[in-house]
Amino acid sequence: MIKPVSLLLLAAVLCGSCGSRTGRTAATSCDEPSARPSEYVSTLVGTHSDFTLSTGNTYPAVALPWGMNFWTPQTGKMGNGWIYVYTADKIRGFKQTHQPSPWINDYGQFSLMPLTGRPEFDENKRASWFSHKAETAKPYYYSVYLADYDVTTEITPTDRAAMFRFTFPKGDSYVVVDAFDRGSFVRVIPEENKIIGYTTRNSGGVPKNFKNYFVIVFDKPFTFCKTVVNGSMTDASEQTGDHTGAVIGFGTRRGEVVHARVASSFISFEQAQLNLQELGRNSFDRIVAQGKSAWNEAMSRIYVEGGSDDQLSTFYSCLYRSLLFPRKFYEIDARGTVVHYSPYNGKVLPGYLYTDTGFWDTFRSLFPLLNLMYPSQERLPCCRAFCLYIYILLFQKNIRNNIDFQIAGCFVIIPGRQFTGIAVQIIEHILYFQTASELFKDNNTVIFIAVKWMYVICHTKYITISVFLHDRPCFTSFGFPEDISNSKFPPCIFIFILN
Query: Above 90 in pLDDT, residue 284?
Result: yes
Which is more confidently placed, 202 or 427? 202
Q: 409 falls in which pLDDT band (50, 70, 90)?
A: very low
| Average pLDDT estimate for 141-159 | 98
pLDDT tens for each residue of 434-458: 333 333 333 333 333 333 222 222 2
Query: Above 80 in pLDDT, residue 250?
Result: yes
Q: Which residues face 420 on adjacent strands?
A: 411
Q: 278 falls in which pLDDT band (50, 70, 90)?
A: very high
| Average pLDDT estimate for 405-414 | 34
Length of the chain: 499
What per-residue confidence (pLDDT) applies to 381?
A: 56
Could you tell me what percent of the chain has a pLDDT over 90? 58
Q: 302 falls in which pLDDT band (50, 70, 90)?
A: confident
Asked whether the beta carbons of 186 and 213 are under 8 A apart, the reply is no
Q: 468 falls in which pLDDT band (50, 70, 90)?
A: very low
Q: How far apart are CA 273 and CA 217, in angstroms?
A: 10
Could you tell me what percent of the chain has a pLDDT over 70? 67
Q: 467 falls in which pLDDT band (50, 70, 90)?
A: very low
Q: How far apart are CA 120 and CA 118, in angstroms?
A: 6
Query: Above 50 in pLDDT, residue 264?
Result: yes
pLDDT tens for each residue of 67-121: 999 999 999 999 999 999 999 999 999 999 999 999 889 999 999 999 999 999 9
What per-residue confidence (pLDDT) applies to 391?
A: 31
What per-residue confidence (pLDDT) applies to 358?
A: 66
What per-residue confidence (pLDDT) applies to 380?
A: 63
Average pLDDT over all residues of the chain: 75
Within 10 A of 243 (CB to CB), how many other CB atoms are there?
Answer: 20
Query: Above 80 in pLDDT, residue 499?
Result: no
Cβ burial of 303 (10 Å; 0-12, 13-18, 19+) is middle
What per-residue confidence (pLDDT) applies to 4?
A: 52
Least confident of 195-199, 346-350, 369-373: 369-373
Asked whether the beta carbons of 201 and 108 are under 8 A apart, the reply is yes
Query: Above 70 in pLDDT, residue 412?
Result: no
- For strand 302-305 and strand 5-8, is the pairing parallel, antiparallel, or unpaired? parallel
Residue-wise burial string across 446-476, b where 16 or more C-beta atoms lie within 10 A, e elsewhere: bbbbbbbbbbeeeeeeebebebbbeeebebb
pLDDT tens for each residue of 20-51: 333 333 333 334 445 689 999 999 999 998 88
Q: 421 falls in which pLDDT band (50, 70, 90)?
A: very low
Q: 374 falls in which pLDDT band (50, 70, 90)?
A: confident
What per-residue confidence (pLDDT) applies to 34?
A: 54
| Average pLDDT estimate for 282-304 | 95
C-alpha 458: how far from chain center: 32
What per-residue confidence (pLDDT) applies to 404?
A: 33
pTM summary value: 0.76
Closest Cα to residue 228, out of 182, 180, 269?
180
DSSP characters over 133-164: GGEEEETTEEEEEETTTTEEEEEEE-SSEEEE
Query: Above 70 in pLDDT, residue 205?
Result: yes
| Average pLDDT estimate for 235-253 | 98
| Average pLDDT estimate for 260-288 | 98
